[in-house]
Amino acid sequence: MKIINAEGGQMSGRVGNMIYYVRDGKTYARRARIPGKKRKWETEGRDERNAAAARRFGVTQRMYSLFAREVSPEIWRAAARARGMMAANLFHSLNFACVDGQGRLANPEAFRFSEGELTVPPGLTVAPAGGDAEGTWFEAAWEAEEEWGLAAPTDRLVVGVMYADDPLSTRLAAEVSGTRGELHGRFRLETGRGGAAHAYLFFAREDGAAFSPSRHFRLEA
């Protein structure tokens, strides 16, 4: 057996045709692939159920890659560190069910744009607040919190968005303002993006090292 690492009594390596490895503190085993031998699905093709699962997996992974590049790599890293997981794995575990077998975002209401230890304030609402040449404005409001705990008045409002004309691309809304202690904030959505948009409101600690789970709102841009 070739030992790759040994940590807390757990070892990883290869014994015969079995490979042992450690992930999130647990030991797993898988059969080693014989060089040159094709997998069953490579010769016989996937059945529809397996093909649908593969599409869902691929789309979810691509969404995470886009999120880390276009929005922030730290949001999911911070949440994953607290759980002893990899960021991509946590994103996948929470959002895989939102994608259907055709690779479409079939349940945007359940999509988690962010995750973390901070709380979401009670009574969070969003209402239209007029528009201009650059987009449509919205006002967000929420109630005061009796106990701060995992929250602070300086936590800032953040708004993620997915537009109808590009439903799998995550981005941040423009010109977001407001802190938790102010009990209200504003943000702007772009016009000409296919009408309806999915907005995900959450809060970030002032130093950008912790975040709250997101809350979904379907808005007309």
pLDDT tens readout for residues 108-143:
999 999 999 999 999 999 999 998 878 899 999 999
pLDDT at residue 44, as a whole number = 57
Tens digit of each residue's pLDDT (9 = 90 or more) over 76-118: 999 999 999 999 999 999 999 999 988 889 999 999 999 999 9
pLDDT at 6 over 50: no
Q: Per residue, what are the HEC states of the chain?
A: CEEEEEECCEEEEEECCEEEEEECCEEEEEECCCCCCCCHHHHHCCCHHHHHHHHHHHHHHHHHHHHHHHCCCHHHHHHHHHHCCCHHHHHHHHHHHHECCCCCECCHHHCCCCCCCCCCCCCCEEEEEEEECCEEEEEEECCCCCCCCCCCCCCEEEEEEEECCCCCCCEECEEEECEHHHCEEEEEEECCCCCEEEEEEEEECCCCCCECCCEEEEEEC
| Residue with the larger pLDDT of the pair 197 and 38 | 197
- What pTM does this model have? 0.77
Residues 166-190 have a mean pLDDT of: 94
Domains and CATH numbers, the chain: 2-31 (no CATH), 42-106 (no CATH), 125-220 (2.60.40.10)
